[in-house]
Structure 1
Amino acid sequence: MRVLLGVTGGIAAYKVALVLRRLVEDGHSVRVAPTAASLNFVGRATWEALSGHPAPTETFEDVPSVAHVRLGQSADVVLVAPATADFLSQMASGAARDLLGNALLATEAPVVVAPAMHTEMWNDPATRANVAALRERGIHVIEPAVGRLTGPDSGPGRLPEPDDLVSALYGVARGEGLSLTDASLPWGDLAGRRVLVTAGGTREPIDAVRYLGNHSTGLQGFAIAEAARERGAEVTVVAANVTLPLGEGISRVDVSSAEELERAVGELAPAADAVVMAAAVADFRPASASASKLKKDGSAGMTLELVQTPDVLAGLVASRAPGQVVVGFAAETGDDAGSVLEHGAAKARRKGADLLVVNQVGDGLGFGASDNSVTMLDAAGAPVAEAGGSKLAVAGAVLDAIVKRLPAP
């Protein structure tokens, strides 16, 4: 299949390099027509290296081949991504200010357009009118996704993920129409809400250099925080030994031990509408910690006396404000005493949280994995929802369950 890939001047152009790579790997011949503005984001060399063809921009480049006409005539399908508000206006008016604009007027192939811009620009009446005009002419316009935009902004206007764009293009090329409309999480249902998330794993000191810890990386907690921010919430994360970055607009408090986490949560939780305890908090800590490194002296070994750490989740449940939703996490393994869900149900009844998110860990599951699979239980230990897939997808499902339990604002 011969694909004409138009790239206009939006920051989401970097994602389109992955679209190009996927199309080429699938065996298609792709010609890229970047606008001059788009080269501020991704250079011509990138498009030429990935496609194996020149990537002209101006109408009067390669005049002998009449490229401004031939590119459109030879295409089996056309994708414009990202399409800025300005370029949508150009398309709607039939203007041909550059090579891509000319090629679009010259093509008879189906055209797929993937807009990407800030929410206010997408919602502007002029943009909406331009999109309506393009659709009336048979151009397939993909609804932008909802999520993080440039800077601290979030909302409708995000370019869908590369694989989604490729799937949509293939559907149109097969004559099945546009299958992708909106691959986003809900937007705005947490606007005005305050969400507190704990993430990572605590470390309980043995001496000046050693500690008791766990394998939690904070990936699931950070995914919940990012998803909540994208849905309009004011988000604070209490991060226990997590090196991952957080997006703009999310407050962060770093802690190490269970005691530090309990103190931070105690200070922040009263102002939160929802608290999500995704951190793996140690159940035990050494009764005492040495201020200096304990030396190996050749004896048989060392005995550590452990004491229980505070039950932060149970404390939150006991002291929560009216209407506050408290969510706990339970990383479980099955054993002779019961299955993962049986242990999770018993924990849900002990803790009394509105939701307990249970996931199996060990043998490559849970901690550090890119995907997750969870079952959500209510305070009585009864399953209320299941979710699986990427940790962001799981985050969305957890937030869906929280939204259902929040009182009306």
Structure 2
Amino acid sequence: MSFDLFLLGWTDLRAAELPADTVPARVARVDRGAAEVIAADGQHHVKYGARVRRSSVGDPVALPCVGDWVALRWLPEGRYELDEVLPRTTAFVRGGVSRDSVGGLSGDGQGQVLAANVDVVFVAEPSMHSTDFADLGRIERLVALAWESGGTPVVLVTKADLFESGLEELLADVRAAAPGVDVHAVSSLRGEGVTLAAGYLHGSRTAVVLGPSGAGKSTLVNALAGLGVMETQQVRAADGRGRHTTVHRELIPLAGGGLIIDTPGIRRIGLYDIGEGVDLVFADIEELARRCRFADCGHVSEPGCAVLASLENGELPERRLQSWRKLQREAAWMASRTDARLRKEQQNKWKIIHKEMRRSPRNRP
């Protein structure tokens, strides 16, 4: 089977970045040290070449990811090798943040690319949740990362057919948590909202679906593809939680145009290299902060604080302020960890250079 690479997102600009004597391909799935790719002459299972292995040492972000465009080199033994990852236009990266045994943040400041060269990020949040109707904090976090990736976030409140009443109120709460972002109710089983989601995908546009287990991501992918391409399972009745069905990320070309990446359920996703993403999600708080009496207001107990005033009069929900503070702390912590890692890498680089200089015959007596 042959493929038109331009329908997969290939462009003349990418062609200019392709190394000599290589052919382009797009990564559809990754495995340890290898990937399934789609090239013009068909699909191939390719192993990583030495250049890719070297560039990814100590930096997981450099590893090939689903959605990447890569250069394949033909080997004398009659097979392709993944020679190089081409520059990404967008990348959805999560940080390695977790909670340690004493409740603090821990991690190494490194990131993991969940999807690359994505135009649209579908944030899937189920309308029926075991403890609440929707996890607004998770939506805020994923939307912040979506903005930071360079893609356009779209929130899909899934399984709307299971929501008995108050759907419009729920959608209003979600819109308040993601200002400036399109929010749609979707029932993949009934086909409601699927056409709206498909409207974001045309030509060679690529979307990734992110959300917790049981959010109906694979069911949505199947509805968009018009085929049962992804296995699905029901949410556990005992606790309302979803079971992991998708265990890998996979790029799927859609018959009607566009491509979509299905992903496993996300339990926790840390921030990574956050700049304007948090500011865009919390544009309402950022606007209030500009009205504070003091430019360096910490919004804790300072006089003339517009943020606290809005909190006291009920215009700003306490939950949203706490969520903003949490993401600000995490972003600052990740930035400090990343800076420390970069300093360490630079130190190691100069140690190697100095060691080689001492070994050089020109420096010997």
Q: Provide the TM-score with structure 2 as the length reference.
A: 0.25
Return the index of the structure with the highest Cα Rg. Answer: 1
**Greater RCO structure (CA 8 Å; 6+ sep):** 2
